[in-house]
Amino acid sequence: METLVCEGLCKDYGSIKALNHVDLSLSEGKIVGLLGPNGSGKTTLIKMASRLLVPSAGKITICGEVPSEKTKAIVSYLPDRNVLPEYMNCDELVQMYQDFFSDFESGRAYEMLGSLDIDPKMPLRKMSKGTREKVQLILTMSRRAKLYLLDEPIAGVDPAARDYILRTIISNYDENATVLISTHLIADVENVLDEAIFLKEGRIILHENADELKEKTGKSIDEYFREVFAC
């Protein structure tokens, strides 16, 4: 079954085309890398799937439904910035996620918080930026969602934490779920990817199986990306 489908999807900001007739289809059970330089439209695409942006033209569907409160119940979204209220602590956030998302598993959240020695009683405003990002990821990955939209999950953290985050993603997503990871730190994620999508100036210029791409080009995805997007 197709988890995410885009047909002729466009998003304009005035005269700037952030997404330009994107056609895309992602099937279930895959970890997909949405790769592209800054400003290529990665975040715009993810925001439209999360219904934080409305398309200028075209269509986007998640499990056959246009984005709505219905799809939000099956999509777990990690934004590219810190969006958790800083006056709350982890206990309150876990409670909040449990209140709103029927697929949220608080046990898993506490397990991950414990493994990172994060005090659930500490307000977010007292945590470092990196720790807040980890909390956000833990909450996102503690859901049993059908589609995970992870926007730059490793951009703001140190290399050691990146490994933890990737391990967290791999070990927590359901095998029938699809994970879409947007990043420009390709070397860090390429080993976990099943598919790679290259996005350039709002257009998809490549969508291939990750292993086949490596075999075909004889290069790592990171090396091939650098070649394609060389300035």
Partner 1 sequence: MLGKLIKYDFKALAKNMFPIYALMIALTFACSLMIRFNLERSFVFGIAMFAWVVSMSSSFAITIWMTVMRFYHGLLKNEGYLSFALPVKTATHILAKAFNALIWAVVEVIALGICALIFAFTVAPLRDLMEAFKYFFTIDADFYLMLLQMALLGALELLAGDCLFFAAFSIAHLFDRHQKLIAGVFVVLMFILRGFLFPPRFSMEFGPGSEFVLLHPLLFIIPLALTIVYSLVTWYILDKKLNLQ
Q: Which residues contact partner 1 (rule: CB under 8 A)?
A: 47, 50-54, 69-70, 72-73, 75, 77, 79, 81-85, 87, 96, 99-101
Residue 14: strand, helix, or coil: coil
- CB of 53: closest distance to partner 1 in angstroms? 6
Shortest distance (Å) from residue 33 CB to partner 1: 22
In the complex with partner 1, the residue whose CB is nearer, 89 or 198, is 89
Toward partner 1, which CB reaches closer, 99 or 175? 99
Smallest separation, CB 208 to partner 1 (Å): 30
- For the CB of residue 147, give the shortest distance to partner 1 in the complex, in Å: 12
Q: Quick count: other Cβ atoms within 10 Å of Cβ 128?
A: 8
* Of residues 66 and 205, the one with the C-beta less far from partner 1: 66
Q: How far apart are CA 81 and CA 46, in angstroms?
A: 13
Query: Residues 6 or more apart from 84 whose CB is under 8 A from it?
Result: 93, 124, 132, 135, 136, 139
Exposure letters 41-55 (e unless 16+ CB within 10 A, then b)? bbbbbbbbbbbebeb
| 215, 220, 225, 230 alpha-carbon torsion, rounded to 10° | -110
Beta carbon nearer to partner 1, 104 or 173: 104
Nearer to partner 1, 6 or 124 (CB): 124
Please give the backbone phi and psi of residue 170, each rounded to the nearest 5 degrees, phi first: -65, -40
Q: How far is the CB of 220 from partner 1 (least distance, A)?
A: 33
Quote the CA–CA distance of 174 and 28 in Å, as a whole number: 10
